[in-house]
Amino acid sequence: MPVIEKLTSDYNLNHTQMSNLFRYVELLKKWSSSYNLMGPNEIDRIWERHILDSLQLINYLPPLDSNPTIIDLGSGAGFPGVIFSLIGFKNVHLVEKSRKKSLFLETVSRETKTPFQVHNCRIEDLSPPLQGDVITSRALANLTSLLMYSESILSEDGDCLFLKGEKVDPEILEAQKKYFFEFEKIVLSPNEFNVLLKIWNLKLK
């Protein structure tokens, strides 16, 4: 499978990391329909559309040995937060309000023997309040809402890494009415609408 070869060659994933990813995909396929994790059309392209998408963010995370605190908002089926844990990041927090999806994420942690923290709550109700070196999100909300969620939990020198689509430019303009922030817009493969928005120096106007 070409995408598997790409994962091992481009990201230097070892046997244990790949085994964890395969086990994660098995669990996704098993739980998906009953726990509403993914649409039926997404199952056949988990590796290309979801695993690879998530792995592309690794190049924009702090070094693994710096042990950054990563907070993934609205984790759902676990993208991208679970992927970070499966490849070795130790301090990953997944925030998911759905009890069913949280149970799935806890199962992934147990079955892969990967210690990440699942917070089954609304983002606003995180307790105790976390401070993230990196805040991530994929397909959760518009940018203004994401910045509202992130403002109180992003460390002073931290970054937000949000996976966005073709409507990112109007979202940026709208968010700038309420927030000051610096940003970089990075187009990821495989298409121009797969955009990583990196945000730092976030402040309420």
What are the pLDDT digits (tens) for 46-62? 888 888 889 989 999 99
Of 86, 78, 71, the closest CA to residue 23 belongs to: 86
21: part of which helix (H) or strand (E)? helix 15-35
Mean pLDDT across 75-79: 94
Confidence at residue 193, expressed as pLDDT on a 0 to 100 scale: 52
Domain positions in the chain: 2-204
Mean pLDDT across 6-11: 76
Query: What's this model's pTM, rounded to 2 decimal places?
Result: 0.94
Confidence at residue 84, expressed as pLDDT on a 0 to 100 scale: 97
CA 102 to chain centre: 15
Residue 70's DSSP bridge partners are: 92, 134
Least confident of 6-15, 22-31, 115-124: 6-15
What are the pLDDT digits (tens) for 150-195? 999 999 999 999 999 878 999 999 999 999 999 999 988 665 458 9
Fold of 2-204: Rossmann fold (3.40.50)
What are the pLDDT digits (tens) for 105-120? 999 999 999 999 999 9
Least confident of 36-50, 122-136, 164-178: 36-50
